[in-house]
Amino acid sequence: MKIRRNQLRKSYRRRFYYQGKIHKIPPVLLKIRYRESRNQYDAVNKRSGAAGAYQFMKGTWNVTASRIGRKDLVDKRPNEASKRDQDWMALQLYEWLGTAPWGGPNI
């Protein structure tokens, strides 16, 4: 799916504040977030169970949360986590595994 530039401009939350710093969301994650949920942080896929703005599966969410030391997010549904936590988890997963969790390089 191709996403037009004006759709990305409308994507809100290009930056977020976490752990005392402002973090910029990479353009590829903006595309992923728009493609997966149309920027809806409370989105849930009824067929797959993927949830949140980045459509995390439960196992991926739990492994990522454990890996970055966020035990409070383990077993929490991604769509119930804050926008900041969803963005942080997606950024950490992207830095760890690239775009593979979202279908690889053809994003």
Q: What is the pTM of this model?
A: 0.83
Query: Which CATH architecture group holds 5-102?
Result: Orthogonal Bundle (1.10)
pLDDT of residue 90: 97
Residue 81: which pLDDT band, with cuts at 50, 70 and 90? very high
Reduced to 3 states (helix: H, G, I; strand: E, B; else coil), residue 38 is: coil
20-39 tens-digit pLDDT: 788 888 989 999 999 999 99
What are the boundaries of each domain within the chain? Answer: 5-102
Question: What Cα–Cα distance (Å) separates residue 8 from each residue in 27, 35, 106?
Answer: 9, 10, 17
Residue 63 half-sphere exposure, CB side, CA atoms within 13 Å?
9
